[in-house]
Amino acid sequence: MCGLRRAGRRGVKARHFDISAQPGFATVAMLTFVLLYLPIVTLVVYAFNAGNSIALWEGFSLRWFISAAQNERVQEASIRSLVVAAIAATIATLAATMAALATTRTRPYRGLTFKYAFINQPLMVPEIVTAVALLIVFSRIKVWTGYSGIGYLLAAHTAFCIPFAYLPIRARLEGMDLTLERAAADLYARPWMTFRRVTLPLLRPGIIAGFMLAFVISLDDVVITEFVKSAGQETLPTYMLGQLRRVVTPEINAIATAFLALSVAIVTIFFFVNRKKA
């Protein structure tokens, strides 16, 4: 009897195991956050440095933000980055939404798992491999067609962003209750009407999340852009990479800080929109 009681107590303890209650968990967590955010904080602080050094503080100033805002190359690269990210994220979200509907609103069948893996393949393949493959394909197309515009950059970003938009949309669809859709069908609503009036409103948070994730991924992509872009098609990340190869000034810190502020603003807006809907 005593042995059974001890075994029962051990089973209860095992079921209520909490990793956060383990010794040293708080220390490891705090160390992880420090290592993760300390470089970012340092970058932001030195963006306001009055001097030319990124390692020696010489006083508070906004000169580098003003310099970046007045730099025509930064302006051109920023506009191009935003346009490419917006177009690529929009197309990727539309494609991801259709793919998510096709792979979740259906009965399981042979080959469905392969389709999941095929759609998410860009997440598992090293980005450098994707970049080299796109470079080879697009180089041949350029020779055949003579076209070397920004369309290649848009196509590459769209293809790379689709799985990032697909995951939150699919997760939203799989977590949705089908009762309302079935009720609409019972009330003789056509499939398109059911989708427009029931499925799409419930799916909207997932679509917004997928769009924002795809937008941010496209906005800060360097590897694929560096391989695919043609002359005169610098985006802001590739411009920053080029500047780091020449001379490093707090202007790069200022640009990176602006990038960070934009990302935080997007996440904050999404949080408040979702909370309001909830």
Say if residue 101 is in the same domain as residue 233.
Answer: yes
pLDDT > 70: percent of the chain: 91
Say if residue 192 is in the same domain as residue 114.
Answer: yes
Say if residue 149 is in the same domain as residue 207.
Answer: yes
Please determine, for residue 29, whether its predicted confidence score (pLDDT) is greater than 80: yes
User: Is 66 domain-assigned?
Assistant: no
Taken in order 111, 115, 120, 124, the sign of the CA dihedral is positive
Number of domains in the chain: 2
Say if residue 176 is in the same domain as residue 47.
Answer: no
CA 239, 244, 249: angle at the middle one, nearest 5?
A: 105
User: Is 95 domain-assigned?
Assistant: yes
Say if residue 94 is in the same domain as residue 218.
Answer: yes
Q: Give bridge partners of residue 60 from the DSSP assignment.
A: 49
The residue that leads in pLDDT, 157 or 12, is 157
What is the C-alpha separation between 235 and 239, in angstroms, rounded?
6
Say if residue 97 is in the same domain as residue 50.
Answer: no
- Average the pLDDT over 213-227 and give the result: 89
User: Is 33 domain-assigned?
Assistant: yes
User: Is 272 domain-assigned?
Assistant: yes
User: Is 193 domain-assigned?
Assistant: yes
pLDDT > 90: percent of the chain: 12
Q: Which of 37, 61, 85 is the endpoint of a domain?
A: 61
> In sequence order, what are the residues at sequence separation of 6 or more whose Cβ sits closer than 8 angstroms to the Cβ of residue 168?
206, 209, 210, 213
User: Is 10 domain-assigned?
Assistant: no
Say if residue 154 is in the same domain as residue 56.
Answer: no
Q: What is the pLDDT of residue 117?
A: 81
The tokens of 243 are what?
């500047």
Say if residue 39 is in the same domain as residue 118.
Answer: no
Query: Domain containing 55: what range?
Result: 20-61
Q: What is the pLDDT of residue 203?
A: 85
Say if residue 121 is in the same domain as residue 198.
Answer: yes
Say if residue 54 is in the same domain as residue 81.
Answer: no
| CB count in 10 Å sphere of residue 234 | 20
Please determine, for residue 278, whether its predicted confidence score (pLDDT) is greater than 70: no
Q: pLDDT tens for residues 32-57?
A: 888 888 888 888 888 888 888 777 78
Please determine, for residue 15, whether its predicted confidence score (pLDDT) is greater than 80: no
Q: pLDDT tens for residues 125-136?
A: 888 888 999 999
Say if residue 53 is in the same domain as residue 162.
Answer: no
The residue that leads in pLDDT, 142 or 17, is 142
> In sequence order, what are the residues at sequence separation of 6 or more whose Cβ sits closer than 8 angstroms to the Cβ of residue 57?
45, 46, 49, 51
Taken in order 67, 72, 77, 79, the sign of the CA dihedral is positive
CATH number of residue 165's parent domain = 1.10.3720.10
Residue 188, phi-psi category: left (phi > 0), alpha (psi -120 to 50), beta (remainder): left
Q: Which of 6, 29, 61 is the endpoint of a domain?
A: 61
- How far from chain centre, in Å, is Cα 168? 11
| Entry pTM | 0.80
- How far from chain centre, in Å, is Cα 109? 30
* Helix, coil or strand: residue 209: helix
Contact between 112 and 222 (Cβ < 8 Å): no
Say if residue 128 is in the same domain as residue 41.
Answer: no
Q: What is the pLDDT of residue 155?
A: 92
